[in-house]
Amino acid sequence: MKRQACGIVLAAFVFCLSFFAFNVQLANGEGLVGDVNDDGIVDLKDVYEVSMALGSYPGHAKWNPQADISTDGCVNLLDVYIVASHFGETATLEVVARVRIYPHCLNLRSRGKWVTCSIELPERRDVHRIDISTVVLNLVIPANQERAHFENCYDVSRLIVKFDRRAVIDMILGHSGFKERFGTVTLTVTGKLVDGTLFKGSCSIKIIAECSNS
Closest CA to 80 of 90, 65, 70: 70
74 with 104, same domain? no
45 with 124, same domain? no
Output phi, psi for 135, to 5 deg.
-75, 120
| Residue where a domain stops, chosen among 85, 113, 145 | 85
122 with 153, same domain? yes
Q: For residue 58, what is the domain's CATH number?
A: 1.10.1330.10
| Residue where a domain stops, chosen among 60, 85, 110 | 85
pTM above 0.75, yes or no: no
Number of compact structural domains in the chain: 2
Instruction: Please write the tens of the pLDDT for every residue from 34-92.
Output: 889 877 788 999 999 999 999 999 999 999 999 999 888 999 999 998 998 888 887 66
Going by the DSSP 8-state scheme, the letter that residue 146 receives in this structure is: G
Beta strand 198-208 with 105-107: parallel, antiparallel or unpaired? parallel
Instruction: Please write the tens of the pLDDT for every residue from 53-65.
Output: 999 999 999 999 9
Structural domain including 153 reads 94-208
